[in-house]
């Protein structure tokens, strides 16, 4: 007897309850109808949750009531029919079709059923018509079946390949060529339309086999079905059946941590995120017990103060993975201030640049004060953005028992799971240097990452521990970690098209703020506290009154916000409000992007409040893409006052639009390169900005991508006889008149071959070999530039590889005139003063451009505000002069230095010493000479520090202007000289880039293919220290074809260091028997030839030097 019959029997007989014995164990069970609700009694209690009876599954809520219709359990949707039994297969509800797998889980994304592909949207509804998935269009007929072949839709003819993807361009069908335009529509000769494919079965014809609940009025019907707020569709490719293969696991079955897999990572307190713990390698903090890795946080005392230690382990340089499926079974601690994490970072953070450009994957994070909620997140971009999903347990917490945290990472998307339940899918990310182009998708998540497990204490996000935190049980326990891989991955993926953003209209008065006059109580305004902030807000007499009891530790500890403010790209907006305070104090106002990592559309702006009500007005231009969820923020935390604040008459109105104009010339890259995408890792096929022309039918042009090594590859067939027949060109370069430039590129060929580089009436011929070399040419523009195009002529038979193409000013500091804006420079402002600092390019002393730094508060250390340029090359034994113009609207001191980049090892040797000068309203020429007595450094940093120099914190608004920065090599000292390179390390130093230095020696090749250096730890999040080995390389010069080895030697005091990203294709290098002698034997008998290439041979693995 099935359950449906039991229910009918009970109802028909008007029996309130029925008791029967199940089996020999005398287990008593009964169905009970109470107020038209069914319950199930077993062993004298009501059953809750899932219960199986007669091979059917039923679900009972916490009150024991049997559920019908849609229910959500642990993040997954199920459907229970009117009799309560769980359904599988196809069902129809409110006119829409859904599919439930054998476990009853509602499916989303692509579904293959009986040989036919269907597509179910994020709500699980089967789709028909056109569907766009990952930038590709598919067509589903009225039965939902995916179509292939030639189809007709609305009198237009399209062609869908065997995978269902709509095709464009020229397509061969049955041996005949047809053309389809960019919309996929056939043009010209139209192919024959094939019969519509229904494939497996026609849903409309089998409705008797499925359950149609369209008229179901049950209270648990689809009208109550809601998805998790952070969930996304599990869209997988219909072409691929995924089979994950186990490639590595650790079940922690031994007595100690396996050091073949794991590293202990140690750090002092405050390393990142204002965390309190010291990470140690002590067995008190990190140990293996009962088959678990245990990371334990310990509260102790040091120097009479509370002190915390904890554990962090990583697989860096031991176990790394590019893509894969990751499963980690773990149990988290609970308690205020505890912050466990299972996450991943790239093994080489320098491939795309330091955090966040390098990318970060957080498989699991849990905040100890919310132990029932887990987060899955990716971080990326510059400026920083993130995409985060959350999963909340309906019962209990992640500290009560073990849970399995999962990640499936493929080139086109990442899927986050908890206990097998998908709760977050991400398919859109990017990386770039600020001001530069996005790297080709899926960067930065196309490189090997390593695993990390840690238990943090305190910090910006969880807040600090309090008296309720139980450190006796402050343990993150990891039962096992498993990693799986697919047999192969398709890395030729496209970034999905951005979703259309719908922007709401303002009110009838043009105001985008809702309830800006505070005339009513509503939920448009949100009062928030964080990181120790305690306060309250109330609307009274048409104003918002904010009271602060504790200002907390950050400016947003006390915060009034209004989200969901629409802002349109190119729009010009005005923000106005009235405000006053109970006593003079400050407030910070901004407009942020919660969905884009809280980047700023209207920068943090400090407002000086007084006891008199004043009106404040600010304007900004929306320079990012449309966003329907901008957020206006009034921040009143940690600003030296807890005085009450009143805010009224808040308005945001659009006052105009900024017209987009096409630049006459290509922009200069942030690192000072006049070539865009010289590393071939930007745009579709990694060829953005490059134009290819070929008169040869047998020419193939592509970009390699083996182990993240990208090079332009041009293969020319045997029917080409002239160099001009094949060219790769970049046009409209932003070259300036009467300026000397240097052209660099790396190149080699499979067989010896000649190529030519041409620019501004200069031709440079090169004879390539099968050994990769760096070629360098100098040229100088005249009063008039006739040709701004760089053209690489590559005709004639053979295969050529080219990489790291650069044109830069022939100077040690680039863009020292600031004619190209801040290209090559970085303005650094510590987070504690970021709202007090802004920068721009302005006229100065009759010059065209100058760097202008506006400062409201210097902060409490000299390094907290800096203008800096990285990758400045200094050669041991050479003499230099650094000079620049400076002035300030107030009398103050600034400090400058050229120093070592200590971001990896905290060695910030100042090669010039730390020089302090006083400046004022009049422009002052600063000049300083020194000799480089340390080892040659190709990656030094030039910094001008404008924070609290000599511990003098300035809170008066002022402006510092810098121009004409030059670094020159000199033969003899003439004035202000430093003969003693000091070891002084400017406190907290960051670093520079961009001025002018002229080098006579051809071996003084500036570092190629570098991204601007990143900020040190106080601006990074969750980065790891790396020890890099830098190989020294042989430097030669002269005619490549017939100069003798002896003539090709160049006068250097030591071989040049090449630290470029690509490391000159190590896989192609072969051992050279004479290389060691050549490196050691440097001579003084070479001469410069203005138009002859300088050849910098690749690293041949000779000498390694630890940095």
Give the tokens for residue 117.
């592909």
> Residues 294, 475: contact at Cβ < 8 Å?
yes
Which residues, listed in sequence order, are joined to residue 73 by a DSSP beta bridge? 76
* Cα distance between residue 946 and residue 894, in whole Å: 5
Quickly tell me which residue has 């998540």 as its tokens.
Answer: 445
Phi-psi region of 422 (alpha: psi -120 to 50; beta: other; left: phi over 0): beta
Q: How far apart are CA 981 and CA 968, in angstroms?
A: 17
Structure tokens that stand for 758 in this block: 């041409």
CA–CA dist 855, 836 (Å, integer): 6
Contact between residue 1040 and residue 1063 where contact means Cβ atoms under 8 Å apart:
no
DSSP β-bridge partners for residue 118: 111
Record the tokens describing residue 657, joined without a space. 């639009």
DSSP letter string over 20-74? EEETTTTEEEEEEEETTEEEEEETTEE--EEEEETTEEEEE-TT-BBP-EEEEET
Token match 């079965």: residue? 201
Phi and psi torsions of 662, nearest 5°: -80, 130
> Do residues 1037 and 1094 make contact, with C-beta atoms less than 8 angstroms apart?
yes
State yes or no: is 1078 an active-site residue: no
- 3-class DSSP state of 878: coil
- How far apart CA 872 and CA 930 sit, in angstroms, is 15
What is residue 511's three-state secondary structure?
A: coil
Q: Are 591 and 630 contacting, i.e. CB atoms less than 8 angstroms apart?
A: yes
**What number of residues does the chain have?**
1107
- Per-residue b/e over 1019-1053, b at no fewer than 16 CB within 10 Å? bbebbbeeeeebbbbbbbbbebeebeeebbbbebe
Which residue is catalytic, options 360, 826, 931, 968? 360
Active-site annotation holds for 646: no
Strand partners, 158: 151
* Cα dihedral 716→720→725→729 (10° resolution): 10
Residue 860, burial from CB neighbour count under 10 angstroms (0-12, 13-18, 19+): middle
Q: What are phi and psi of 949, to 5 degrees?
A: -65, 135
Q: Where on the phi/psi map is residue 862: left (φ > 0), alpha (ψ -120 to 50), or beta?
A: alpha
- Euclidean distance between CA atoms 828 and 95, whole angstroms: 57
CA 311 to chain CA centroid, nearest Å: 26
Query: Both tokens of residue 618?
Result: 């600010």
- Listed in sequence order, the residues at least 6 apart from 2 whose beta carbon sits closer than 8 Å to its beta carbon are 54, 56
Q: Which helix (H) or strand (E) holds 90?
A: strand 89-93
**What is the rounded distance in angstroms from the CA atom of residue 1034 to the CA atom of residue 478?**
49
Closest among 1010, 1011, 1007, 1009 to 938, alpha carbons compared: 1007
Out of 365, 413, 852, 1002, the active site residue is 365
Residues involved in catalysis: 360, 365
């Amino acid at each position: 007897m099935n359950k449906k019959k039991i229910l009918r029997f009970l109802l028909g007989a008007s029996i309130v309850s029925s008791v029967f014995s199940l089996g020999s164990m005398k287990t008593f069970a009964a169905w009970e109808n109470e107020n038209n609700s069914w319950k199930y009694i077993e062993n004298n209690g009501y059953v809750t949750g899932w219960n199986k009876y007669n091979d059917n599954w039923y679900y009972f809520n916490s009150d024991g009531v049997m559920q019908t219709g849609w229910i959500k359990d642990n993040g997954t949707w199920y459907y229970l029919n009117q009799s309560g039994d769980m359904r599988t297969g196809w069902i129809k509800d409110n006119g829409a079709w859904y599919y439930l797998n054998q476990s009853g889980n509602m499916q989303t994304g692509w579904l293959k059923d009986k040989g036919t592909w269907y597509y179910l949207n994020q709500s699980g509804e089967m789709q028909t018509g056109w569907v766009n998935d990952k930038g590709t269009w598919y067509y589903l007929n009225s039965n939902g079946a995916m179509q292939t072949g030639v189809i007709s839709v609305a009198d237009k003819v399209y062609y869908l390949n065997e995978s269902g993807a709509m095709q464009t361009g020229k397509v061969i069908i049955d041996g005949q060529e047809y053309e389809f335009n960019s919309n996929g529509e056939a043009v010209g000769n139209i192919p024959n339309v094939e019969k519509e494919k229904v494939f497996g079965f026609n849903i409309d014809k089998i409705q008797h086999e499925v359950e149609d609940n369209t008229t179901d009025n049950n209270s648990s019907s689809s009208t109550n079905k809601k998805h998790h707020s952070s969930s996304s569709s599990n869209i997988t490719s219909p072409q691929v059946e995924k089979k994950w293969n186990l490639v590595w696991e650790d079940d922690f079955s031994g007595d100690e941590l396996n050091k073949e897999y794991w590293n202990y990572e140690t750090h002092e307190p405050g390393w990142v995120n204002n965390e309190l713990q010291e990470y140690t390698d002590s067995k008190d903090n990190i140990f293996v017990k009962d088959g678990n890795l245990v990371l334990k946080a310990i509260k102790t005392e040091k120097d009479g103060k509370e002190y915390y230690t904890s554990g962090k382990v990583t697989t860096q340089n031991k176990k790394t993975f590019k893509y894969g499926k990751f499963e980690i079974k773990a149990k988290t601690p609970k308690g205020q201030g505890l912050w466990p994490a299972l996450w991943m970072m790239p093994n080489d953070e320098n491939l795309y640049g330091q955090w966040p450009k390098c990318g970060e994957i957080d498989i699991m994070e849990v905040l100890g004060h919310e132990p029932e909620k887990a987060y899955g997140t990716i971080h990326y971009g510059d400026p920083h953005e993130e995409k985060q999903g959350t999963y909340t347990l309906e019962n209990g917490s992640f500290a009560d028992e073990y849970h399995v945290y999962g990640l499936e990472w493929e080139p086109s998307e990442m899927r986050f799971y908890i206990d097998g339940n998908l709760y977050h899918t991400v398919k859109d990310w990017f990386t770039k240097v600020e001001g530069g182009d996005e790297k080709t998708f899926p960067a930065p998540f196309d490189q090997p990452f390593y695993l990390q497990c840690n238990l943090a204490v305190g910090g910006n996000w969880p807040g600090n521990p309090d008296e309720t935190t139980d450190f006796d049980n402050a343990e993150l326990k990891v039962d096992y970690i498993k990693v799986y891989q697919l047999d192969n991955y398709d890395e030729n993926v496209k970034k999905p098209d951005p979703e259309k953003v719908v922007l709401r209209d303002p009110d009838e008065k043009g105001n985008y703020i809702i309830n800006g006059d505070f005339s009513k109580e509503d939920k448009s305004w949100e009062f928030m506290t964080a990181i120790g902030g305690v306060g309250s807000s109330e609307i009274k007499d048409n104003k918002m009154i904010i009271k602060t009891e504790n200002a907390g530790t950050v400016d947003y500890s006390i915060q009034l916000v209004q989200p969901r403010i629409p802002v349109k790209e190119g729009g010009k907006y005005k923000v106005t409000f009235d405000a006053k305070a109970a006593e003079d104090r400050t407030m910070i106002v901004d407009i942020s992007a919660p969905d884009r990592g809280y980047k700023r559309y209207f920068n943090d702006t400090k407002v000086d409040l007084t006891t008199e009500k004043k009106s404040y007005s600010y304007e900004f231009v929306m320079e990012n893409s449309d966003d329907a969820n901008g957020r206006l923020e009034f921040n009143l935390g940690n600003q030296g006052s807890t005085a009450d604040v009143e805010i009224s008459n808040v308005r945001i109105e659009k006052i105009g639009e900024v017209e987009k104009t096409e630049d006459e010339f290509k922009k200069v890259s942030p690192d000072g390169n006049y070539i865009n995408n010289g590393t071939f890792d930007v745009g579709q096929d990694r060829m953005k900005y490059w134009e290819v022309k070929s008169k040869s039918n047998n020419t193939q042009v592509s970009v390699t991508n083996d182990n993240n090594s990208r090079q332009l590859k041009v293969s020319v067939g045997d029917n080409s006889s002239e160099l001009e027949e094949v060219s790769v060109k970049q046009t409209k370069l932003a070259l300036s008149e009467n300026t000397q430039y240097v052209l660099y590129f790396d190149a080699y060929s499979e067989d010896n071959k000649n190529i030519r580089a041409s620019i501004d009436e200069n031709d440079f011929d090169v004879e390539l070999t099968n050994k990769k070399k760096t070629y360098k040419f100098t040229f100088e523009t005249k009063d008039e530039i006739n040709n701004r195009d760089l053209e690489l002529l590559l005709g004639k038979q053979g295969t050529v590889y080219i990489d790291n193409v650069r044109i830069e000013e022939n100077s040690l500091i680039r863009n020292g005139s600031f004619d190209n804006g801040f290209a090559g420079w970085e303005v650094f402002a510590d987070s504690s003063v970021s709202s007090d600092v802004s920068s721009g390019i302005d006229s100065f002393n009759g010059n065209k451009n100058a760097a202008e730094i506006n400062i409201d508060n210097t902060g409490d250390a000299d390094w907290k505000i800096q203008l800096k340029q990285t990758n400045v090359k200094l050669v041991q034994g050479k003499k230099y002069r650094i000079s620049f113009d400076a002035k300030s609207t107030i009398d103050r001191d600034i400090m400058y230095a050229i120093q070592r980049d200590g971001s990896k090892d905290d060695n910030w040797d100042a090669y010039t010493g730390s020089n302090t000068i006083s400046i004022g309203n009049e422009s002052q020429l600063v000049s300083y000479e020194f000799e480089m007595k340390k080892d040659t450094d190709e990656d030094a940093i030039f910094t001008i520090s404008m924070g609290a120099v000599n511990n003098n914190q300035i809170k008066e608004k002022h402006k510092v202007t810098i121009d004409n920065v030059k670094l020159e090599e000199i033969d003899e000292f003439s004035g202000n000289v430093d003969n003693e390179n000091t070891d002084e390390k400017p406190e907290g130093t960051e670093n520079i880039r961009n001025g002018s230095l002229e080098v006579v020696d051809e071996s003084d090749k500036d570092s190629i293919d570098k991204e601007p250096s990143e900020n040190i730890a106080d601006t990074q999040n969750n980065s790891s220290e790396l020890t890099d080995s830098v190989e020294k390389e042989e430097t030669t010069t002269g005619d490549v074809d017939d100069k003798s080895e002896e003539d090709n030697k160049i006068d250097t005091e030591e071989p040049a260091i090449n630290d470029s990203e690509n490391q000159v294709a190590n896989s192609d290098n072969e051992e050279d028997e004479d290389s060691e002698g050549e490196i050691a034997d440097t001579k003084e008998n070479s001469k410069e030839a203005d138009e002859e290439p300088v050849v910098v041979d690749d690293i041949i693995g000779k000498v390694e030097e630890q940095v």
